[in-house]
Structure 1
Amino acid sequence: MRVLFLVWSSYPSDRIYADPSVFYRCFHPAEALRRRGMHTSVMHFSTVDPEELSDYDRIIFFRPQFSDKFLELHSTARQLGLPCVASYDDLFFDIEMLRQSNFRGLAVNQHKILASRPYNYAQAMYFFDRFISSTDPLADRIRAALGAAEVHVQYNAVSDEMLYLARMCTETIDREPLRLGYFAGGASHAPDLMAIAPYIAPALAEAGAEFFCVETVEVPDVIAKACKVTTTRRMSYAEMIRAYATCCVTIAPLHMNPFTISKSGIKYLEASLVGAATVATPIPDIMRIADDRLIPVETEEGWYDGVRQALAMPHGEAITRHQQERIRERFSTSVEAERLVKFLETVGS
């Protein structure tokens, strides 16, 4: 089977690998399918000549947006008799749900956001009958929008390469015993950190802990005044795993609403790779993969106790090895690839 992942991303066409969504939703499954003997490609839609589609058996449109180019590619695929699937990892195609996201409250170009989300997503969505979703709640939203839709849930997972890198990092990097890390995916998560800052700051101060943060968000003053703060620039995936390995605890706060309920729990898998405990908002997908190293917090006030509890949890080589083996057996891209192949075979039948 030959599978093409057609990508719509705001990243430059020659840097789509740096887009976290494309990394997890396209490159990871493409590599896992390749290991099973299939031919796969990941390409930015703007670089694809419609004639190239004939080289493939299945086309996966990742986050497709309606445009003349989209119509040309989709129409060509249909003329060639190629099964087409739309893949989503966020609820961008629902206008009401987008209003509940953090985008509206940020000092960003609102016209740019609304020009591409959700109208173009929604218009493209209605060209498909088959879908790939990153979580069960997101699959439910797709079915609610398109009652007859066939939806395969392909969970975010960890690749063999990430597991290998995590093992190398945990064997060679000393963990900071009281370092709490926050690895936000982007500036839209600044309000999430701001909401819990008054509650985690005293917990950090009492424990004499350090707050480690990637510079995708600003550190609230209440945290900066309470404890040692270390920030770092945006990192590559390899650098990110190394940074995770220095933390004993990570946090994954979200403002719970129908938009965030559809999000992935990948942040806990990233932390588990290096044996770190995590305090998190209990969105459904993170609870799907949770074990006793995850502390769910349902209220803002609960973050104080959650962080205190996590900072007191044990760490060590045996715990890390157990977490890595658990991920390999249950949450690896190899496991997800086997399920994806069955779905793609059904799509082509």
Structure 2
Amino acid sequence: MKIAFLACNRKPELFRSDPSYIYRCENLGLELSRLGHEVEFRHSSESLQGKQFDLVVFHRPKNTWRIWLLAKYFRLSGTKVLADFDDLIFDLNFAEFSPGFVNGLNILKKTKKTYLSHQQALSFFDGFTVSTEPLKAHLQSLFPNKAITVIPNAVHHQWLAEGIDFKAEPVDFARPVLSYLPGTRSHDQDFKLIATGLSQFLKLHPQVRLDITGPLSFQLGAELASQVSHHEKVAFATFHQRFQSTWVNLAPLEDTPFNRCKSALKVLEAAYWGKPTLCSPIPDVLRYRNAGAVLIETPDDICNKLTKLLEPNYYKEFVQNLRKEALKLSDIRQFAASFISLADSN
């Protein structure tokens, strides 16, 4: 089968370094290639004249003449065309919950324009793939008669290869490290959610350090400055190294319609490297109750559950077989089979 994954982002030269494209398209495509399918990774701005595929996946498409023409061209040639989304960015009624707007990075008018463009593009496609069940429910409310398949995010091919002989570094409980890895600039409000409880915990346990990797403006306060270090965002190829010295990963999310549609990506990333994640109980995270997720269900859980994980024997038991349990929920080899079934269906 010939399959193309088309990026639709604004900067063609950067699409292969976009984490969303890496997880949603590259990861799946590499597994499909391993299975013997012909796979191409392209940007929608590239010349595709004369190209023939059995299936083309458009990643986060917008309503542009170029996308419309490509979708129409491929459909007329008998190619199935799908759109893939991993965030709630296609329903205008929920634009006000966009992290870009919530965190003051975009004005609402611009955000609504972007959402509307994604929503208008939905009619171009035969069906959709999404990363979570809540995203599927939103799409079904807009297009009840179109096929929608959940292809969850999965451990990346590169990590599967590098992790074959991996042995987790023992945690130094004399100087344990909390990690927080915001991938974009739009997580200030999410981090604020745990700031009070986290500050309390750090004050009670001055031996604990907090390592932040990526953009974050929100600060815990000058009195904790000696326990906090901030690093620049790293490329995906070296991203996993940030987990090697981690004791517990942090993944707080505000309770919003946008965040309830997000995947448990931060949980599965940490779990694959044998690390637990203190996280908000969004729907996709609940799948990882026994695979690394430490749920923040009350404000007191932040300090209480982190304190419990400082006990070495309890921690050792908690992380035992974490990688195995995470792979049961996030193995790209399983998801590729589901994708091929979708491609073969009428």
- CA distance, structure 1, for counterparts of residue 112 and residue 91 of structure 2: 14
Deviation at 1:308, TM superposition (A): 2.3
Aligned residue in 2 for 1:105 = 102
Q: Could you tell me whether the CA contact under 8 Å between 1:189 and 1:217 is conserved in 2?
A: yes
Q: Structure 1 residues 260 and 105 mapped into 2: Cα distance closer, same or farther (>3 Å)?
A: closer
Which of 194, 203, 211 is the aligned partner of 1:196?
194
- CA distance, structure 2, for counterparts of residue 273 and residue 223 of structure 1: 34
Q: Percent identity?
A: 23
Q: Could you tell me whether the CA contact under 8 Å between 2:247 and 2:275 is conserved in 1?
A: yes
- CA distance, structure 2, for counterparts of residue 175 and residue 112 of structure 1: 47
- CA distance, structure 2, for counterparts of residue 77 and residue 6 of structure 1: 12
Deviation at 1:170, TM superposition (A): 4.2
- CA distance, structure 2, for counterparts of residue 278 and residue 146 of structure 1: 35
Q: Structure 1 residues 321 and 202 mapped into 2: Cα distance closer, same or farther (>3 Å)?
A: closer
Q: Structure 1 residues 304 and 113 mapped into 2: Cα distance closer, same or farther (>3 Å)?
A: farther
- CA distance, structure 1, for counterparts of residue 277 and residue 296 of structure 2: 10
List aligned pairs for 1:251-266, cutoff 5 A. Answer: 251-266=250-265
Aligned residue in 1 for 2:39 = 40
Under a length normalisation based on structure 2, what TM-score does the superposition of the two structures give? Answer: 0.91
Aligned residue in 1 for 2:20 = 21
Q: Match for 2:2: what amino acid?
A: R
Q: Which SS does the other structure have where 1:53 is aligned? A: coil
Q: Match for 2:240: what amino acid?
A: I
Deviation at 1:96, TM superposition (A): 2.5
Q: Match for 1:193: what amino acid?
A: F
Q: Structure 1 residues 242 and 266 mapped into 2: Cα distance closer, same or farther (>3 Å)?
A: same
Q: Which SS does the other structure have where 2:41 is aligned? A: strand
Q: Structure 1 residues 205 and 289 mapped into 2: Cα distance closer, same or farther (>3 Å)?
A: same
Q: Which SS does the other structure have where 2:187 is aligned? A: helix
Deviation at 1:234, TM superposition (A): 0.9
Q: Could you tell me whether the CA contact under 8 Å between 2:80 and 2:126 is conserved in 1?
A: no
- CA distance, structure 2, for counterparts of residue 310 and residue 101 of structure 1: 33
Q: Match for 1:233: what amino acid?
A: E
Q: Which SS does the other structure have where 1:138 is aligned? A: helix
> Residue deviations 1:106-158, cap 9 Å, x none?
34343794275201101101222411010011001100111112111000001
Q: Could you tell me whether the CA contact under 8 Å between 1:129 and 1:148 is conserved in 2?
A: no
- CA distance, structure 1, for counterparts of residue 159 and residue 223 of structure 2: 32
Deviation at 1:97, TM superposition (A): 1.8
Q: Structure 1 residues 15 and 311 mapped into 2: Cα distance closer, same or farther (>3 Å)?
A: farther
> Residue deviations 1:208-259, cap 9 Å, x none?
2100101311351338626511211111223221111110101110001221
- CA distance, structure 2, for counterparts of residue 139 and residue 202 of structure 1: 38
- CA distance, structure 1, for counterparts of residue 171 and residue 163 of structure 2: 13
Q: Structure 1 residues 105 and 182 mapped into 2: Cα distance closer, same or farther (>3 Å)?
A: same
Flag structure 1 segments of 5+ consecutive residues without an equivalent.
none
Aligned residue in 2 for 1:306 = 305
Aligned residue in 2 for 1:210 = 209
Aligned residue in 2 for 1:324 = 323
> Residue deviations 1:258-317, cap 9 Å, x none?
21111000111111112111110011111113316321113444322233233436455x
List aligned pairs for 1:35-114, cutoff 5 A. Answer: 35-47=34-46, 49-54=47-52, 56-110=53-107, 113-114=110-111
Q: Could you tell me whether the CA contact under 8 Å between 2:56 and 2:80 is conserved in 1?
A: yes
Aligned residue in 1 for 2:121 = 124
Flag structure 2 segments of 5+ consecutive residues without an equivalent.
none
Q: Match for 1:206: what amino acid?
A: L
Aligned residue in 1 for 2:287 = 288
Q: Match for 1:2: what amino acid?
A: K
Aligned residue in 1 for 2:132 = 135
